[in-house]
Amino acid sequence: MGAGTSIAGKANDKLSDRLRVRAHTLSPSLLRVLEFIDAHRHEAMTKSAMELAAAIGTSDATVIRAVQAVGFDGLRELKEVLATASGTGQTPVDTIRRTCASLEQHSATAIDQVFADHQETFTALASDEVRGSILAAIEKLSTAKRIGVFGIGATAFLARYFSLSLNRTGRSTAVFDDCVAPLPEQLLEIRGVDALLMLAYGKPYKQATSTIAEARRLRVPIVLITDKAESSMARHAAVVVPVLRRHAGHVAMHGTTLVCLEAIIFALVANDPTRAIANLERLQELRKAVYK
């Protein structure tokens, strides 16, 4: 199989382009490695140089030389290119493939990547712009007698945690998560809230847009926590808090969102400590009555 055949029909990406241009300059051993990688892209994204070498029948050093012969710094850069060329889908399979491609199957690399991503997102969270939007959100929520909290999928757990924390400190909440009850039934409760905090990331989706429409109909102000500050959802919010979740295209991580929510919780407690203390004292009495 020649290089021209192996790249036929491939998406226009760096590997295809470079292999097309440089194939005639490569030795047979290097060309064989690159043709294998080109024909087995998903396998190449998740294997080490040694594992690729075993599959091809060559040495790991030859794999690295082949990758560098077409202009990549190393296997990691090539994996990132392959992950990008595989598409921009947002299914769990798409995102885990892209993430794994950048980690090279090493636990230490994975830990370092998670720490680095969170350091970047925490730095953004502490910026004057984001801090100002968090303060605006607290001001909007502090006057509400009852706070609605929206979160779907993974963010439903964060929504429940936020709601529980507010309840413990004396603030009434309603959760819109499409879990305990179907979302349409839950949305009937928007008429009973004074402000709605929404955790809605990525592109607009039906549950979020329907919730926004109902809140707007009832003139309930929305505080939106999102990574798309310029999205159509953001245009309908009274306050937008931009919170990054991940390296672009990789698996979503929720640590920064949780920190943002906890900042809001403790700020609301600080605004009315008497209420929080009284409610926590009553909670302690109820726990004694139930568990002792």
Going along 31-161, which residue ranges are E strands? 146-151
Q: What is the pLDDT of residue 150?
A: 98
Same domain? 146 vs 69? no
| 28-81 confidence digits (pLDDT tens) | 999 999 988 888 876 777 678 888 898 899 999 999 999 999 998 888 888 777
Into how many domains does the chain fold?
A: 2
CA dist 158 and 205 (Å) reads 18
Model pTM?
0.65
| 231 found inside a domain | yes
| Residue 25 DSSP class | G
Pairing of strands 172-176, 222-226: unpaired
Average pLDDT over residues 228-232: 81
Same domain? 172 vs 68? no
CATH code assigned at 285 = 3.40.50.10490
Q: What is the pLDDT of residue 98?
A: 55
Encoded amino acid at 90, one letter: Q
Q: What is the mean pLDDT of the chain?
A: 84
The SS3 call for residue 148 is strand
Same domain? 79 vs 144? no
| 74-100 confidence digits (pLDDT tens) | 888 887 777 666 544 455 555 555 555
Q: What is the pLDDT of residue 284?
A: 94
| Residue 219 DSSP class | T
What's the pLDDT band for 105 if we cut at 50, 70, 90? low
> Are the C-beta atoms of 199 and 178 separated by less than 8 Å?
no
CA dist 108 and 127 (Å) reads 29
> Are the C-beta atoms of 102 and 214 separated by less than 8 Å?
no
| 143-179 confidence digits (pLDDT tens) | 999 999 999 988 999 999 999 999 999 999 999 999 9
Nearest partner of 228 among 255, 251, 208, 258, judged by Cα: 208
Element (H, E) at 261: helix 255-271
- As a whole number of Å, the CA-based R_g of the chain is 25
What's the pLDDT band for 137 if we cut at 50, 70, 90? very high
CA dist 137 and 226 (Å) reads 13
**182: which 2 tokens?**
């179907």
Average pLDDT over residues 179-185: 92
CATH code assigned at 93 = 1.10.10.10
Same domain? 81 vs 27? yes
Q: What is the pLDDT of residue 102?
A: 56
Q: What is the pLDDT of residue 97?
A: 57
